[in-house]
Amino acid sequence: MTISSSLNAGVAGLQANATRLATISDNIANSSTFGYKRVNTDFHSLVISSSGGTYSAGGVRATTSRLIDQSGSLVSTSNPTDLAVRGRGMLPVAKASEVEVGNGENQMFLTTTGSFRTDAEGYLRSDAGLILLGWPALPDGTVPTFPRDTSDGLEPVQINVNQFSGEPTTQISLGVNLPATETDAGALGDAQNLAVEYFDNLGTSESVNISFAPTVPGTGSSNEWTMTMTDSALDGAVIGEYTLTFDDSRTSGGTLIAVADAAGNPGGTYDPATGNIVVNVEGGPLEVNIGQLGESDGITQLSDSFAPVSISKDGSPVGNMTSVEVDANGFVTAFFDTGINRTIYQIPLVDLPNPNGMVALDQQTYLPSPESGSYFLWNAGDGPTGDVVSYAREESAVDVAGELTAMIQTQRAYSSNAKVIQTVDEMLQETTNIKR
C-alpha cells in the first residue's frame, strides 16, 4: 500500500509539473502578444489520512488560473484608434462575424487593448475580427442615458469617413462700439451698417444685416440709436427693430441704460437679465446678445468711431470628416475640415468584481461568468475604472526571465518525480526477488 502510494504520488507529480510546463510554454509563446494575460499554475497537496504508524502518499494536484487583472506596460503607436486601458476596466467588443449577420444581437466580449481601423463598412475593427462597441451620441453630440448593467444599449462603432456635417447658427454675440459724437446736435446722422454671417439649417451662408441709425437732437446729445435687423434669406425683411439708449454718467458712461421695442417690432423683447434678443430668421429663432444694462461687454457708445470689436457666433458650414480620435474618457470625436468637431460615440469601460473569474477565449477576449460576478458599464475615468489611452497598445503581461526560471524549476521537479518512480520500480523488483 505504502509503496504503491509512492508510485501514485510520483505519477501525480509528473502530471502536475507537465501542466505547469504547458502554462509556461503558453506564456513564453505569447510574450509578444499584445494584451496577453499570463497563466499561473498552483500546486495543492492531496493528504490521505494515515493510521497505525503507516503513511500513504496522497500526491499533488495542479490548478491553473489566468491573471486577467494583471496589466502589461503600454507602448505608443501612430494610429489614433489603437486603444489600451490604463488601470481597471475593459473595452467592450463584438465579433465581426456576428455584426455582419445584422440580427442586432451582438454578444459582448471584453478586451483590454486593440488596434482598431475602419473596414469597408466603416466599423472600427481589429485584425483579429473584433469590432469596438459604444453608445451612439445624438446629432448634437450629447450621449443620452443608457442602462449600465446590460450591454443592450451598445452598438458597433461605425465611422462614415465620407460624412458631411454642418451646424446651424442659433446664437450671435455683438461687441460693437457706436460713435457717441453721432448723437450730438448738428451731427450728420449717418447710419452705421454691419453684416453678420450665419449658417442656416442646410449649412448655407446667410447674413443678418444690422443698421444703427442715430437720433440727432436739436440741442445737446440724445445718446439714442435705432437698431434695425434684416435677414438676407428673407430678401431683406425686417426681423427686429429696437431703440437703444446709452448712459452718459461718470460711472457708467457708454453702457446701455435702456432697450425698447420700436413701433411694430417683429422681434422678441429684450431680456435685461441675459442681454438677449430673440429674432426669427428663415430657419428659425436666432438669439442675439447685445449685452446687459450697465455692462460694457456688448454694444457700447464711446468716442467718435464705429468699431465692431467682437462678433462671435456658433454654427458652422458643411464640412468633410478628416479624422477620428478617442479621448481619455472614451468619447469618440469626429473632426471636420471646417475646424469643428463632434462627439459621435462614447466607449464605456466594463468592470467586474472578479476579473480573473471570466472565461478566457481566443484573441485576448473574455466573457463574464458567474465566478466573475455581474458587470457594470462605467464612464472611463469614473468610479473604479481607469482611462482610455489612444495611440497606445498594451504589451503582454509575461516576464520572460521569470518564466525561464520557472521552467528550470519545473524541469528539476519533473526529473525528481521521475526518479521517485524509478526508485519505486527498483524496490518492487527487489520485493519480487524475495520469492526466488
Is the same domain home to 141 and 181? no
Is the same domain home to 194 and 270? yes
Element (H, E) at 109: strand 109-111
Is the same domain home to 185 and 283? yes
* Residue whose C-alpha cell is 449685452: 291
Is the same domain home to 159 and 181? no
Is the same domain home to 173 and 304? yes
Q: Which of 314, 341, 370 is the last residue of a domain?
A: 314
Question: What SS3 state is found at 210?
Answer: strand
In this structure, what C-alpha cell is assigned to residue 346? 462614447
Q: Which of 314, 329, 349 is the last residue of a domain?
A: 314
pLDDT of residue 436: 65
**Cα-based torsion angle of the residue sequence 198, 201, 203, 208 in order, rounded to the nearest 10 degrees:** -20
Number of domains in the chain: 3
How many Å apart are CA 16 and CA 46, to the nearest integer? 12
- Residue ranges making up the domain that contains 21: 2-67+397-433
Question: What SS3 state is found at 85?
Answer: strand
Q: pTM of this prediction?
A: 0.75
Pair type for strands 359-361 and 365-367: antiparallel
Is the same domain home to 281 and 256? yes
Helix/strand/coil (H/E/C) assignment for every residue in 6-65: HHHHHHHHHHHHHHHHHHHHHHHHCCCCCCCCCEEEEEEECCCCCCCCCCCCCCEEEEEE
pLDDT of residue 344: 94
Element (H, E) at 140: none
Cα of first residue to Cα of last residue in the chain, in angstroms, is 22
Is the same domain home to 194 and 252? yes
Q: Could you tell me the mean pLDDT of each successive run of 10 residues in the chain, 436 residues long?
A: 78 92 96 95 84 76 93 95 96 92 84 94 93 92 93 92 78 97 94 95 92 96 97 96 96 96 95 96 95 95 95 88 93 88 94 95 95 96 94 96 95 92 85 78
Is the same domain home to 377 and 415? no
pLDDT of residue 391: 96
Is the same domain home to 270 and 231? yes
Q: Which residues of 66-97 are buried (b: 16+ CB within 10 A; e: fewer)?
A: bebeebbebeebeebbbbbbbebbbbbbbbbe
pLDDT of residue 278: 97
Question: What SS3 state is found at 196?
Answer: strand
Is the same domain home to 370 and 418? no
pLDDT of residue 163: 66
Is the same domain home to 390 and 401? no
pLDDT of residue 52: 64
Is the same domain home to 174 and 290? yes
**Cα-based torsion angle of the residue sequence 15, 17, 21, 27 in order, rounded to the nearest 10 degrees:** 110
Instruction: Evaluate the CA torsion angle 226, 229, 235, 237 in order and state its sign.
Output: negative
pLDDT of residue 50: 67
Which residues are CB-contacts of 339 (< 8 A; sequence separation ≥ 6)?
316, 319
Helix/strand/coil (H/E/C) assignment for every residue in 270-300: CECCCCEEEEEECCEEEEEECCCCCCCCCCE
Nearest alpha-carbon partner for 96 in 64, 69, 71, 126: 126
Q: Give the phi and the psi of residue 125 in degrees, each rounded to 5.
A: -130, 140
* CATH at 212: 2.60.98.20
Helices first, then strands: H and E counts in the chain: 3, 31
Q: Which of 256, 291, 314 is the last residue of a domain?
A: 314
Question: What SS3 state is found at 129?
Answer: coil
